[in-house]
């Protein structure tokens, strides 16, 4: 398969660059039948996934694969928002409808709130967003300020990054940093040094979208290092296994960052299966696919593991503001293997 | 804040721990943005308990609104309403913008607090569109916050909106006797709608909640008379009692005479043993 061609024809998400150097071919697809037995009885926590862009099919497969809880960071919806009202509605959906939809599949939904770096460059709008952000940051189930950081590394991005670090301090919430894809190494260093400059405890900061080039410095400085398993770009899961082999499980976590791009909401279970295959100890797998994310974000005081560790049965009759996800007569669980759609 | 009832604060602080009281008092000394943020952040700093209600405060928390009751509220809801009452009401434009922002960014529990506070907020008529929106809402808790035990609708809703609220309460199977002013705002239009509703239900072989009958008091004598005859011969004790109450309230001699066959019921109404409150279903 020609990786280069894929790069040129896929729309990149999460601010990917067309820079191929860091994106060696790595992602390997595995069929459910091939890895189902490997992850049996494992429990996963995806600390970075954009469910508003995903379908109910995804939720069903995620639940089946053992994903019990997720964090949805506030982010870029693919096109710039033109007014404050769109931000309000988007943020509201993260704590409202999407959380409800998730619960219908037995998956506990948290989110982080923030103004993304790209839209920080629209200063007029950014000012307005900053005014309402505290009203969302304090809402129940908000586990951090995120994802914030740099894209183009402009002065405006820096301004709003700093302001949001202050907000995180004020609200006692962890920070989830989106590191840029262009000039990543420098962007990551800059993000970290600004966070330290603002007096943030690195154990309260999750640096996201790491790669082999950035991981050492992130860990050495005491931050959490998150890795995004995203097909064709970012990390592949085979590379991820090597990172875990080299660095162990301390302060390392894996996420899917699945969104409206070509991404994989099952990235975590698949990577866990691969790690199992490669003989990585179960406890290490558990730390990087579950426990570390909980430890990092539970500092918000908003995560109660009893909500997803005790056997959870979604209530199919529950409604969100009087609306159900189920249209007349639908059942919450559909047999995906059936050819007939009844 | 001038229009903040003393007993309301007193009651709130009786429910608070010392630490909670400090937090609340500090927040209202702060600037508006911090105050609004505190409204959102309240569950992070206050206990999630439901408040225990003391009868000494019953009907007196807000003296000008004796129907304003907080029984069964969460402590956070009570505190949120209290915080809202500290948002400076002037200049008007700024005040309206602040409250609108809270509405626009609110999640469910915040909406409940906002609607609960409407009768106490400055410029009450400005909130009419929000309040009638809440009646249209599918969110059960939001609907309850505006419809039940809230003086706002009786005071400010025009008749059509008022009737919608009452009808929707009936449709939702909620306790209509918790609508403040339900008897004071009886009207002919509402009686017609309720009468139609009852016909529809009886055609489907269903009964209406017994409380709905009290709304028929505003119907024309002729309509009422035709409804009461079968009601008096009902096998249900409650329906008979409702019929007796309606006949007793009527000024029409023909309707009053229906009561002649039920001397026991008439007597217990005269003695004050039977009134509409005796027919109330226990609210959930
Ligand atoms: Zn993201």
- Could you report the predicted ipTM of this complex, rounded to two decimals? 0.72
Of A119, A111, A201, nearest to A165 by C-alpha is: A201
Cβ–Cβ of B101/A139 closer than 8 Å?
A: no
Enumerate the residues of chain B whose CB falls inside 8 A of the CB of residue A134.
33, 37, 40
Residue A24: inside a domain, yes or no?
Answer: no
Of A247-251, A316-320, B170-174, B196-200, the one with minimum mean pLDDT is A316-320
Give the nearest partner residue to A88 out of B37, B105, B139, using CB atoms.
B105
Give pLDDT, residue B61: 84
Cβ–Cβ of B105/A95 closer than 8 Å?
A: no
pLDDT by residue (tens digit) across B136-160?
Answer: 887 788 999 999 999 999 999 999 9
Enumerate the residues of chain A whose CB falls inside 8 A of the CB of residue B37.
134-135, 138
Whether pLDDT at B62 is above 90: no
Cβ–Cβ of A134/B104 closer than 8 Å?
A: no
- What lies within 8 Å, CB to CB, of A155 at 6+ separation is none
Give pLDDT, residue A20: 43
pLDDT by residue (tens digit) across A139-185?
Answer: 999 999 999 999 999 999 999 999 999 999 999 999 999 999 888 99
**Percentage, residues of chain A above pLDDT 70:** 81
Split at pLDDT 50, 70, 90, the class of B2 is very low
Residue A150: inside a domain, yes or no?
Answer: yes
Whole-number Cα distances in Å, B265 to A118, B49, B247, B280: 75, 44, 11, 17
Determine the average pLDDT of the residues in A262-283: 94
CA distance B138 to chain A (A): 5
Whether pLDDT at B12 is above 90: yes
Distance in Å, CA A209 to ligand 1 centroid: 9
What is the residue extent of each domain of chain B?
Answer: 6-158, 188-279
Residue A56: inside a domain, yes or no?
Answer: yes
Q: B157 near B133, Cβ under 8 Å?
A: no
Tokens of A152: 């183009």
Give pLDDT, residue B79: 97
Q: Which chain A residue shows the shortest CA-CA distance from B33?
A: A131
pLDDT by residue (tens digit) across A191-210?
Answer: 999 999 999 999 999 999 99
Distance in Å, CA A175 to ligand 1 centroid: 13
Whether pLDDT at A269 is above 70: yes
Cβ–Cβ of B33/A139 closer than 8 Å?
A: no
Q: Which chain A residue shows the shortest CA-CA distance from B42?
A: A138
Give the nearest partner residue to B139 out of A135, A139, A321, using CB atoms.
A321
Element (H, E) at B44: helix B32-45
Element (H, E) at B95: helix B92-105
Enumerate the residues of chain A whose CB falls inside 8 A of the CB of residue B44.
138, 301
CA angle B4, B183, B271 (to 5 degrees): 110
- What lies within 8 Å, CB to CB, of B129 at 6+ separation is none
Residue A18: inside a domain, yes or no?
Answer: no
Split at pLDDT 50, 70, 90, the class of A56 is very high
Tokens of B167: 């009808």
CA distance A128 to chain B (A): 11
Distance in Å, CA A289 to ligand 1 centroid: 17
Give pLDDT, residue A318: 65
Give pLDDT, residue B69: 85
Enumerate the residues of chain A whose CB falls inside 8 A of the CB of residue B41.
138, 171
CA angle A318, A320, A324 (to 5 degrees): 65
Q: How many domains, chain A? A: 1
Print the domain residue range for A201: 36-309
Interface test with A, best of B105, B168, B172, B173 (most A CBs within 10 A): B105
- Spatial distance between the Cα atoms of A274 and A229, rounded to a whole number of angstroms: 12
Split at pLDDT 50, 70, 90, the class of A62 is very high
- Spatial distance between the Cα atoms of B69 and A136, rounded to a whole number of angstroms: 29
Q: Which chain B residue shows the shortest CA-CA distance from A319?
A: B139
CA distance B7 to chain A (A): 29
Q: Which residue has the higher pLDDT, B173 or B151?
A: B151
Give pLDDT, residue A313: 55
Distance in Å, CA A326 to ligand 1 centroid: 28
Determine the average pLDDT of the residues in B173-202: 88
Residue A19: inside a domain, yes or no?
Answer: no
Split at pLDDT 50, 70, 90, the class of A12 is low
**Max CA separation in chain A (angstroms):** 59
CATH at A46: 3.20.20.140
Tokens of B36: 């609004």
- Spatial distance between the Cα atoms of A135 and B39, rounded to a whole number of angstroms: 8
């Amino acid at each position: 398969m020609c990786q280069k061609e894929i790069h040129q024809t896929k729309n990149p998400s999460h601010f990917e660059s067309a820079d191929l150097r860091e994106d060696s071919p790595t992602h390997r697809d595995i069929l459910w039948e091939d890895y189902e037995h490997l992850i049996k009885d494992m429990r996963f926590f995806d600390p970075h996934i954009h469910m508003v862009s995903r379908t109910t099919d995804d939720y069903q497969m995620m639940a089946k694969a053992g994903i019990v809880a997720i964090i949805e960071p506030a982010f870029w919806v693919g096109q710039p928002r033109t007014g404050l009202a769109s931000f309000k509605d988007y943020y509201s959906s993260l704590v409202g409808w999407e959380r409800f939809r998730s619960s219908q599949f037995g998956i506990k939904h948290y989110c982080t709130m923030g103004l993304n770096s790209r839209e920080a460059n629209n200063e007029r709008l950014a000012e307005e967003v900053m005014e309402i952000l505290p009203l969302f940051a304090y809402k129940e189930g908000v586990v951090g300020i995120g994802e914030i950081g740099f894209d183009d590394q402009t002065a405006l991005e820096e301004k709003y990054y700093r302001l949001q670090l202050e907000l995180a301090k004020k609200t006692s919430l962890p920070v989830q940093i989106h590191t840029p894809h262009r000039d990543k190494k420098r962007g990551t260093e800059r993000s970290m040094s600004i966070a330290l400059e603002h007096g943030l405890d690195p154990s309260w900061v999750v640096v996201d979208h790491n790669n082999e080039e950035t991981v050492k410095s992130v860990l050495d400085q005491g931050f959490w290092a998150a890795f995004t398993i995203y097909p064709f770009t970012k990390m592949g899961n085979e590379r991820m296994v090597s990172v875990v082999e080299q660095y162990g499980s301390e302060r390392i976590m894996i996420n899917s960052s699945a969104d409206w791009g070509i991404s994989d909401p099952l990235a975590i279970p698949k990577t866990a299966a691969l790690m199992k295959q490669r003989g990585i100890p179960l406890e290490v797998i558990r730390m990087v696919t579950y426990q570390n994310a909980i430890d990092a974000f539970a500092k918000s005081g908003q995560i109660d593991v009893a909500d997803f560790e005790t056997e959870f049965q979604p209530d199919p009759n529950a409604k969100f503001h009087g609306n159900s996800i189920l249209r007349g007569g639908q059942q919450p669980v559909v047999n995906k293997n059936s050819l007939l759609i009844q | 804040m001038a229009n903040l009832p003393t007993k309301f604060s007193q009651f709130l602080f009786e429910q608070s721990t010392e630490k909670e009281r400090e937090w609340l008092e500090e927040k209202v000394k702060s600037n508006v943005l911090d105050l609004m943020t505190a409204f959102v952040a309240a569950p992070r700093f206050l206990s999630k308990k439901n408040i225990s209600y003391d009868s000494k405060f019953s009907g007196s928390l807000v003296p000008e609104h004796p129907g304003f009751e907080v029984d069964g509220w969460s402590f956070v809801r009570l505190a949120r309403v209290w915080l809202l009452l500290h948002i400076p009401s002037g200049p008007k434009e700024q005040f309206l913008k602040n409250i609108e922002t809270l509405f626009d960014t609110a999640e469910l529990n915040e909406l409940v607090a906002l609607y609960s506070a409407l009768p106490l907020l400055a410029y009450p008529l400005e909130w009419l569109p929000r309040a009638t929106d809440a009646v249209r809402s599918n969110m059960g808790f939001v609907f309850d916050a505006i419809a039940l035990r809230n003086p706002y609708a009786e005071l400010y809703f025009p008749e059509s909106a008022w009737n919608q609220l009452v009808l929707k309460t009936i449709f939702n199977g909620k306790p209509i006797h918790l609508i403040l002013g339900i008897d004071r705002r009886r009207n002919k239009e509402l009686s017609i709608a309720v009468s139609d509703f009852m016909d529809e239900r009886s055609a489907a072989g269903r009964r209406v909640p017994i409380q709905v009958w009290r709304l028929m008091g505003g119907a024309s004598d002729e309509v009422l008379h035709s409804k009461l005859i079968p009601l008096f011969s009902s096998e249900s004790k409650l329906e008979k009692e409702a019929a007796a109450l309606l006949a007793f309230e009527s000024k029409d001699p023909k309707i009053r005479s229906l009561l002649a066959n039920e001397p026991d019921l008439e007597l217990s109404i005269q003695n004050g043993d039977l009134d509409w409150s005796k027919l109330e279903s226990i609210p959930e």
